[in-house]
Amino acid sequence: MFAVIMAGGSGARFWPASRERLPKQFLAITGDRTMLEETLARAERIAPPDRTSIVLGRVHADLTKRTLSGKQVEVLVEPRGRNTAACIGLAALHAKRGAVRGVAEDEPMVVLPADHFIADVESFARTIRAAADVARDGAIITLGIAPNRPETGYGYINTGAVGGESLEQPYFRVRRFVEKPDYQTALGYLSGGDYLWNSGIFVFTARTILEEIKACMPELHEGLMEIERAINTPGYGAAVERVYGRIESISIDYGVIEKTTKPIYVFKADFGWSDVGSWQALYELRRAECDRQGNLSLGDSMIIDAKRNLVFSNTDRKVALLGVEDLVVVDTPDAVMVARLDRSQDVKKFADQYRGR
């Protein structure tokens, strides 16, 4: 098995801590390590570093290489973000060509977003290995999360018939994918029991996904073939630049997996998952670390009569709260933000206003 970590996120939701040049995966928000470091550690439970690829944007290449601190992880640089279809296609191509050491195109590859939180790494590794066994025969495996709230910001997977059994649990055929639903629909999904959140974690072989890209996205496939011919030649960089200049920006879900004719299954993941999509999500995730008044302090704070606040600082400045409730206060070298926690999905509006700084 080998692992592909997708680290191309732009990180507007954690403004002002995250920026274009320092997106969420490079922040230590879920623990002492950055989310990318945590994802790398998780990937090591499945595949050794020299059978792991990271795909990322050029602007983050140096930062990522510092994170790797000498580990033999393959770094694949995209000249611009073109969503997950291109990203996964590029990683599969390199696997097929043996650029990832010792990997054959019939070995399962697990695709991991770099900026998700997973609580139970042991359970995670077990689920991935079980999924890999099924993927080896040419199936596409998605990981689904049992919803615990009527979330309108995620894609959903509608489960169909039982596809088989693994780890003494059934796994299911995918009936259909649903893009972000409205609130009433999400509420129905929550009570229905046959809808799962699409975690964005996939398992398939490089051969399977490249065949399906060929079938569903022929223009992307043609571009990948052009890149393949340039691998290990001086023209590689120019070929990638050329192809990324013309291909569509589309997710692997929408571009390939929703259209495939291959067998496609969903494994229920039970390992404690969050995409940590907002400051509020981070607060909920780390609630156990709050003080008695419900304040979560990720930084140097002084708190008087304040309740249920999140303080995040990546400076050595003091953050003082007096009498306030239900806020997120973020302190960075060039900007400070004070927002209501329940408005934290709107934080990206600041990122838009502040672009380039």
Piece of 35-43, 77-85, 287-295, 339-347 that binds a second copy (CB under 8 A): 339-347
Does position 277 bind a second copy by CB under 8 A? no
Q: For a second copy, which is the closer residue by CB, 224 or 337?
A: 337
Piece of 1-9, 160-168, 255-263, 319-327 that binds a second copy (CB under 8 A): 319-327
Does position 305 bind a second copy by CB under 8 A? yes
Does position 331 bind a second copy by CB under 8 A? yes
Does position 304 bind a second copy by CB under 8 A? yes
Q: Which residues contact 125 (CB under 8 A, 6 or more apart)?
A: 42, 45, 46
Element (H, E) at 166: strand 156-166
Rounded to the nearest whole angstrom, what is the least distance from the CB of residue 352 to a second copy in the complex? 11
Piece of 73-81, 108-116, 264-272, 337-345 that binds a second copy (CB under 8 A): 337-345
d(CA 299, CA 314): 7
Rounded to the nearest whole angstrom, what is the least distance from the CB of residue 14 to a second copy in the complex? 13
Does position 327 bind a second copy by CB under 8 A? yes
Could you tell me which of 8, 2, 18 has the C-alpha nearest to residue 351? 18
C-beta separation of 181 from 221 below 8 A: no
d(CA 174, CA 159): 5
Q: For a second copy, which is the closer residue by CB, 16 or 108?
A: 16
- ∠ CA 305-308-310 to the nearest 5 degrees? 105
Could you tell me which of 347, 315, 314 has the C-alpha nearest to residue 328? 347
Element (H, E) at 267: strand 264-269
Does position 21 bind a second copy by CB under 8 A? no
Dihedral of alpha carbons 174, 176, 180, 181, sign: negative
Q: Which of 8, 9, 11, 16 binds a second copy (CB under 8 A)?
A: 16
Rule CB under 8 A: which residues touch a second copy? 15-16, 302, 304-305, 317-324, 327, 329, 331, 333-340, 342-344, 346-347, 349-350, 353-354, 357
